[in-house]
Amino acid sequence: MTMMRRSRPIVGNTQRLHAMLRRIVLQRECIKVLIMGGSVTHGFNLGGDGTQRPYHVHFIKWLNVKYPCEGSGHEMLGMKAPTGGITSKVLLSLLTHNLEFYNLIDMIFVEVAPNDPFIGENTERHDKTKKTTDVIQWYTEVIVRNLLRARTPSPPAVMYVESAWNGYKWLQAMEKPTPMTVAQSFDGIAQLAHQQVLFYYQIPTVSAVDVLWPLAMHNRSAYWRGHEYSWMWNNLDRCCHPTHEGHMLLALLLAYNMEEEIRRWIHEPLRAIEEDVTMTRALEPPWLLTAKEDAEMGLRAAFSDMNFMLGAPEPSAIGHNEGWSWYADSKNKTGLIATRVGAHLSLKINVPAAAKVVIGFLQSYNTLTPAAWWVDEVAEGSTQCPQSADEPTRGRQYTIDPLKVNEKVSVYNSVSQPIQPTSAKDGIHYIHFCLIRRQKSDEINGKFKLMTVKVSADLTAG
């Protein structure tokens, strides 16, 4: 039982959770649970004969057996997203689309810990920072505040599920001499970055990390493999993907914590001082965000919001296209992709008097080439494409370089730039993208993958 008790690092505000559990137990209502996560949530590498399923499948099955409802059964809602690489930054870009796609959500699980160590830089914060912990916490807070404000149609119960930690740095520290301290190796445990934000907002959290890390480290020399709860018992690879046993454990931890709430607490009335104020009134002041950032990053703050991870652009949104195609270049990870220098694309966007654009793209360590971009009022723009990064860009043209050779991962990244209407009149404009050659290169083939374009108000303007 000590293992089970370790799994709830933050009990948090339980009013939303109890309201949902009372409907399950007392009224036998069927609930819908939105699962927001990446490759762990999708059961990456499980394989097998189909019986080895991710944690949430086992959890929903338990819920239907233990607490059957009067209807079609408790239901898991899969997030509209790629199957992997979901950091908090990527999740934020998908949040609005998912909450609007489903018209009824009773509970939301958020599972992003394995990928958040690779979250990259924060390009959307006014006070830019490159420190990974700060970046994780900034995006975590934006997500949490938006989820607490969401009504689907009632305030949904929100729970963070800390499924795993990233094992690369631990393995590196133990396999070869390195100046890395134990504290530095903790960078692979994104839960520790989440925890301060989740504590501030009192978000209920269930963690397999709190259960497994102390057991794996009980015999440090056998941490990787060599005892019942070593790394390779719970993970299929050096990263973070749980085995079938790991997924079953996580489902068990969720079931245990739900059962504890049902058995012990849902019938206990809350005192007024214990009530979850986020259900009825404005949130507390932000923990890390500025007030302007909080307003800018609201779910419905966007004037234009295109997400090519979820679908192809509407034909009416395309001004001009010569050489860009929407497809998946890896698993189901889709985007608008150009592979030849000079390929030009323009997309219709709405630009208010003071705005910023956030452009999401694939960042990787090989094969990718830069793209130039700019905003104007003309759909056609291929004649303005620079051919190479050696050429000076014209006017308000910018360049995105997606290559990052020192990090052997492929991740979503983004850039943010204030933009203004190109005339006195705000409204419909076009954002242009051109694939260009790398500096001092004659190569005409390359690759750039565009994943999101979002225009919102720039509250720092003026």
The answer to whether 2-292 and 302-457 have equal CATH topology is no
pLDDT for 425: 63
Beta bridge partners of 136: none
- Using the predicted structure, report yes or no on whether residue 281 has a pLDDT greater than 60: yes
Average pLDDT of the segment spanning 309-322: 94
Instruction: Map 407-438 to HEC letters.
Output: CCCCEEEEEEEEECCCCCCCEEEEEEEEECEC
With a pLDDT cut of 70, the percent of the chain lying above it is 87
pLDDT for 462: 47
Least confident of 272-276, 301-305, 320-324, 354-358: 301-305
Average pLDDT of the segment spanning 21-43: 93
Give the whole-angstrom CA distance, residue 98 versus residue 120. 23
The 3-state DSSP class for residue 142 equals helix
Using one digit for the tens of pLDDT, what is the confidence trace for 224-274?
666 677 777 777 777 788 888 889 999 999 999 999 999 888 888 888 888
Cis (ω within 30 of 0) for the bond into 153? Answer: yes
pLDDT for 120: 83
291 band by pLDDT with thresholds 50, 70 and 90: confident
| 167: phi then psi, degrees, rounded to nearest 5 | -90, -5
Least confident of 3-7, 10-14, 65-69: 3-7
For residues 197 and 332, which has the higher predicted lDDT (pLDDT)?
197
339 band by pLDDT with thresholds 50, 70 and 90: very high
For residues 133 and 126, which has the higher predicted lDDT (pLDDT)?
133
- Using the predicted structure, report yes or no on whether residue 296 has a pLDDT greater than 60: yes
- Using the predicted structure, report yes or no on whether residue 173 has a pLDDT greater than 90: no
Give the whole-angstrom CA distance, residue 225 versus residue 245. 15
Strands (E), 172-309: 205-207, 302-307
- Using the predicted structure, report yes or no on whether residue 387 has a pLDDT greater than 80: no
- Using the predicted structure, report yes or no on whether residue 48 has a pLDDT greater than 70: no
Average pLDDT of the segment spanning 196-225: 84
Residue 244 backbone class (left: φ over 0; alpha: ψ -120 to 50; beta: rest): alpha
Any idea which fold 2-292 has?
Rossmann fold (3.40.50)
Pairing mode, strands 205-207 and 157-162:
parallel
Scored b (16 or more CB within 10 A) or e, 246-284 reads bbebbbbbbbbbbeebbeeebeeeeeeeeebebeeeeee
pLDDT for 55: 94
Could you please report the per-residue DSSP string of 279-292? GTSPPPPPSSS-HH
Question: How far, CA to CA in Å, does 332 sit from each of 39, 42, 113?
Answer: 12, 12, 21
Average model confidence (pLDDT) for the chain? 86
CATH of domain 302-457: 2.60.120.260
Using one digit for the tens of pLDDT, what is the confidence trace for 430-455?
999 999 988 777 788 899 999 999 99
pLDDT for 54: 92
For residues 186 and 266, which has the higher predicted lDDT (pLDDT)?
266
For residues 83 and 406, which has the higher predicted lDDT (pLDDT)?
83
For residues 172 and 456, which has the higher predicted lDDT (pLDDT)?
456
What lies within 8 Å, CB to CB, of 181 at 6+ separation is none
- Using the predicted structure, report yes or no on whether residue 410 has a pLDDT greater than 90: no
Give the CA dihedral 26, 32, 37, 40, nearest 10 degrees: 70
* Boundaries of every domain in the chain: 2-292, 302-457
- Using the predicted structure, report yes or no on whether residue 459 has a pLDDT greater than 70: no
- Using the predicted structure, report yes or no on whether residue 191 has a pLDDT greater than 90: yes
